[in-house]
Chains A and B, each alone.
Chain A
Amino acid sequence: MGRYVIRRLLQMIPVFFGATLLIFLMVNVMGDPIAGLCGDRECDPATAAQLRREFGLDKPVGQQYLTYMGNVFTGDFGTAFNGQKVTELMATAFPVTIRLTIVAILFEIVIGITLGVLTGLRRGRPVDTGVLVLTLVVISVPTFVTGLLLQLLLGVEWGWIKPAVSPEATFGELVVPGLVLASVSLAYVTRLTRTSIAENRRADYVRTAIAKGLPRRRVISRHLLRNSLIPVVTFIGTDIGALMGGAIVTERIFNIHGVGYQLYQGIVRQNTQTVVGFVTVLVLVFLAANLIVDLLYAVLDPRIRYA
């Protein structure tokens, strides 16, 4: 187990460098960001040169990347164009997005798995068909439609929530945005759980468990559910990274000042330091989440062993 973890951690190093290099190059391909700082006016050449020097943009791309990575290892993620340290931006943005992700994941787990088990056990019944149709609708409606619709209904028409989240972004305020963010994944979790449960219900070990007289509750929770959760856990694990990075739409609709918003602004302003910094951290989150998922397999299925 220990050796497996170490091997996985070592594998992360090339992935980390490759991902950051790609992002760095992609942002660079978009061209010189300085021109966008002076409005509809040509930056005066002296100021533009001075700014380029300050942000290190006068060096060749390779050297820029090396300097940047060197700084990253000392904890310096650079400075955004508005003079704020990128680490400062991260310190305000990540807690918000993490809260949003937690809310979303909780929805996926609680509602998604419950519905999945319910429908998996009642295949072909009206409940099953109803939920299937519902998930189909959720999957086919884009997130921004769900988001704007809920915002309009709950926020403006009925006044149950505030349409815009305050800068503090407490858990209470993030319930609706979290549901919107989770909606599509939630539908997938429901369907995955349903199929998995339905399939395993006919497995030998379930029949054995029923035959030896275990209560139905225990059969479902200890035997059936535990084995059926492996694909679901894989999905949710990879979804953590996707939710954190993919919250751009939801964060914009609900005025959440999180990672998605900072990334959006970094891209629009071509702020290499912000974009690369945030994406680097997201890459790390993604890698860590994947590792945890792989380790969870062993917990869920005793047949899986990591040597």
Chain B
Amino acid sequence: MRGATRAKWAAGAAAVALAATACGGGSDTGGGGADGIVSSSWGDPQNPLEPANTNEVQGGKVLDMIFRGLKRYDPKTGEAEDMLAEKIETTDATNFTITVKDGWTFSNGEKVTAKSFVDAWNYGANLRNNQRNAFFFGQIEGYDQVHPESGQPRADTMSGLKVVDDRTFTVKLTQKFSTWPETLGYAAFSPLPRAFFDNHDAWIAKPVGNGPYTVDSYTKGSQMALKRWDAYPGEDKAQNGGVTLKVYTDNNTAYTDLTAGNLDLVDDVPASQLRNVQADLGDRYINSPAGIIQTLAIPYYDKAWNTPNGAKLRTGISMAINRRQITDTIFQKTRTPAKDWTSPVLGADGGHKDTLCGDACSYNPAEAKRLVAEGGGIPGGTMRISYNADTGSHKEWVDAVCNSINRALGNDRACVGNPVGTFADYRNQITQLKMSGPFRAGWQMDYPLIQNFLQPLYYTNASSNDGKWTNAEFDNLIDQANAETDTQKAVGLFQRAEEVLRDDMGAIPLWYQNGSAGHSDRVSNVTLNPFSVPVYHEIKVN
């Protein structure tokens, strides 16, 4: 390797020449102990930082630190627990009376009242405000008036929301939804102070909320410094002095900065570094389950994929995928082979059942070959698995899945990958129903409920039902489950719906995704919540 040694020598020579000029620069890490500042990697939020406008994890991190809603999901168990809600009462799963706890304020001193919630939700739902998450308010009566399918809003507020007094408000839904209160931990349901409405630009430049941290300074696109709010009224006070979120151009650079000791926390370990992570970080590497599942969706709008015998074909394909081998080698165990269509973070009580898919999700090449043949063979002789090539290192696993299918079926041309340049283009092809074969479908839960893993993805014409799978029995069971006020019975009904999905193999489950993070030895007690976001307020600085 003459070339390599030369290059090293050149690098060394250049380094010597530069040693004088390249100064290390000071460290901005501040003190240790309870006032220590944690520095953490960040990405530029895609949308403006408003609670109902943030639908990705980077903006979500900030909201999680500066807001507290009626409910909060326990960082460990994912269970929805009352936060600002004193009580949420209903007798018919349609009308809810919500009482807000006394003593909560925003960090600017304003009291958090029933009106803070109602105003925020009305803002989030209104079409005029362009909020990406407006559909979260879709179950509330009067949503179709403020957010019509076409044309301008016909009302400013939703008729289903009524302020009773300072601490009480009522919500009327358009249909029964017994687990609705448990969705209220989602950031879109956060309360908003008057400052948000009165001086919106100033609020966007420096958001004000009611969470354990306040925004100290925010330079868009590069850095946000959050400080502990000492007067925070909640139980979950910050255990550190603050968090500095630094935007990195690339997660590899953030990882390098962590190994060099300039950064405390990276919550997105790049796939290419997973091999080295044990050697680099040892027990400072965290790999814990998150509410994310990856599946292959099937284009049911394509006749070739929607045949009477299709269930056999799809089950055959599912059984031709050696999930264990792929998660072990390509993902270095940061994913777990899927055994149902939900996620382990729900727990057995929440509806996760690791025997639900059973044989249909186990690798069995002989059976796979038989089923695919009985199902009429691969449509067109070759199936193309589409994925977006710009993020998430999808190419590696799609190629591996195809190899596995090809080997199992004994046909080199059975499956190939089909990269699409950008995520936006990929989404366009999906929404315009242009997929001609199975395609990558990922789902990160909004709230830890089995309903969230089934209804948005497989209910007829649901917002994320990309394959347009439709099944009357499934829809019926989901409706029944939503109307059921007993949680355990509701979960049972959801699982029955999931069995319908399995018998038709409506989508092929691949694996559950873990959250992975690494931290420096300056900090301890670092954990990830079920949304794969670090639990910042519990981090201790040594």
Assess the A84–B220 pair: CB atoms within 8 A.
yes
Assess the B24–A162 pair: CB atoms within 8 A.
yes
Assess the A51–B130 pair: CB atoms within 8 A.
yes
Cβ distance A259 to chain B, nearest Cβ, rounded Å: 12
Assess the B47–A83 pair: CB atoms within 8 A.
yes
Number of interface residues of A (CB under 8 A): 73
Bound complex: CA of A33 vs CA of B421, how far in Å? 13
Number of interface residues of B (CB under 8 A): 74
Q: Assess whether A60 is interfacial by the CB under 8 Å rule.
A: no
Assess the B250–A252 pair: CB atoms within 8 A.
yes
Assess the B48–A153 pair: CB atoms within 8 A.
no
The chain B residue with its CB closest to the CB of A149 is B11
Residues of A within 8 A of B247 (CB): 167, 257
Residues of B within 8 A of A41 (CB): 55, 456, 463-464
- Given A155-B256, A257-B249, A269-B46, decide whether A172 and B23 contact each other with a Cβ distance below 8 A: yes
The chain B residue with its CB closest to the CB of A157 is B260
Assess the B424–A33 pair: CB atoms within 8 A.
yes
Find B22's partner among A81, A149, A176 (CB 8 Å cutoff): A176
The chain A residue with its CB closest to the CB of B425 is A31
Cβ distance B44 to chain A, nearest Cβ, rounded Å: 7
Assess the A44–B441 pair: CB atoms within 8 A.
no
| Stretch in A133-141, A203-211, A218-226 with 4+ CB within 8 Å of B | A133-141
Residues of A within 8 A of B25 (CB): 162, 166, 172-173
Q: Assess whether B422 is interfacial by the CB under 8 Å rule.
A: yes
Assess the A49–B150 pair: CB atoms within 8 A.
yes
Assess the A163–B260 pair: CB atoms within 8 A.
yes
Cβ distance A173 to chain B, nearest Cβ, rounded Å: 6
Residues of A within 8 A of B134 (CB): 44, 47
Bound complex: CA of A146 vs CA of B250, how far in Å? 17
The chain B residue with its CB closest to the CB of A135 is B10
The chain B residue with its CB closest to the CB of A133 is B6
Cβ distance B524 to chain A, nearest Cβ, rounded Å: 22
Q: Assess whether B135 is interfacial by the CB under 8 Å rule.
A: yes
Residues of A within 8 A of B279 (CB): none
Interface residues of B in 19-44 (CB under 8 A from A): 19, 21-25, 44
Q: Assess whether B162 is interfacial by the CB under 8 Å rule.
A: no
For B117-142 the 0/1 string (1 means CB < 8 A from A) is: 00000000001101110110000000
Assess the B22–A92 pair: CB atoms within 8 A.
no
Residues of A within 8 A of B463 (CB): 41-42, 44
Cβ distance B484 to chain A, nearest Cβ, rounded Å: 26
Find B424's partner among A172, A251, A265, A269 (CB 8 Å cutoff): A269
The chain B residue with its CB closest to the CB of A33 is B424
Bound complex: CA of A280 vs CA of B367, how far in Å? 58
The chain B residue with its CB closest to the CB of A174 is B22
- Besides A44-B134, A255-B248, 19 other CB < 8 A contacts? A30-B425, A32-B424, A35-B430, A40-B466, A41-B456, A43-B431, A44-B135, A45-B149, A46-B148, A133-B6, A137-B3, A150-B11, A152-B256, A158-B15, A162-B257, A164-B263, A172-B21, A253-B252, A255-B257
Binding site for A on B (CB under 8 A): 3, 6-8, 10-12, 14-15, 18-19, 21-25, 44-48, 55-56, 127-128, 130-132, 134-135, 147-150, 204, 219-223, 246-250, 252-254, 256-257, 259-260, 262-263, 390-391, 421-428, 430-431, 441-444, 456, 463-464, 466
Binding site for B on A (CB under 8 A): 30-47, 49-51, 54, 81-84, 88-89, 92, 133-134, 137-138, 140-141, 145-146, 149-156, 158-164, 166-167, 172-173, 175-176, 179, 251-257, 261, 264-265, 267-270
21 A-B pairs with C-beta separation under 8 A: A30-B425, A31-B425, A31-B428, A34-B424, A36-B422, A39-B444, A42-B463, A43-B431, A82-B220, A83-B204, A89-B221, A137-B7, A137-B10, A141-B3, A146-B11, A154-B22, A155-B256, A163-B260, A164-B253, A166-B25, A167-B223
